[in-house]
């Protein structure tokens, strides 16, 4: 089955620093990748959608200058949390979908637990 790999699984950083999270589709080409954020015991909140080779589309309330998304290839998307603050601590999950937009299910990575101290 389709595999999405997310790295790192856990990261602790100091306030003010930046953190990059990678999301890779291992056995399929992902034309679209999604980034979600999940707070404890809550549902997944869509942050942004990225299509390969174009700018990401951010959901309302998500700061695009703070959460930089790059989808440079059909197998890799990155999320960079810039100038991180403790309130950015959360579980970030990426997902990817194959080329057949209307038919492909969404596969998720295993998430990245970000803790900002």
Nearer to another protein by Cβ, of 4 and 81: the residue is: 4
Nearer to another protein by Cβ, of 12 and 101: the residue is: 101
Residues that bind another protein (CB under 8 A): 4, 6, 34, 41-44, 46, 48-49, 57-60, 93, 95, 101-102, 105-111, 113
Question: From CA 5, how far away is CA 88, in angstroms rounded?
Answer: 22
Nearer to another protein by Cβ, of 83 and 111: the residue is: 111
CB of 44 to another protein, least distance (A): 5
């Amino acid at each position: 089955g389709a595999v999405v790999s997310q790295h790192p699984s856990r990261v602790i950083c100091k306030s003010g620093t930046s953190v990059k999270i990678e999301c890779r589709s291992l056995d399929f080409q992902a034309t679209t990748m999604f980034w979600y954020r999940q707070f404890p015991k809550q549902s997944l909140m869509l942050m942004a959608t990225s299509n390969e080779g174009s700018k990401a589309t951010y959901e309302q309330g998500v700061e695009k200058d703070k959460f930089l998304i790059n989808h440079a290839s059909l197998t890799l998307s990155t999320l960079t949390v810039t100038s991180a603050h403790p309130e950015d601590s959360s579980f970030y999950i990426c997902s990817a979908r194959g080329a057949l937009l209307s038919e492909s299910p969404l596969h998720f990575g295993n998430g990245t637990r970000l803790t900002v101290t």
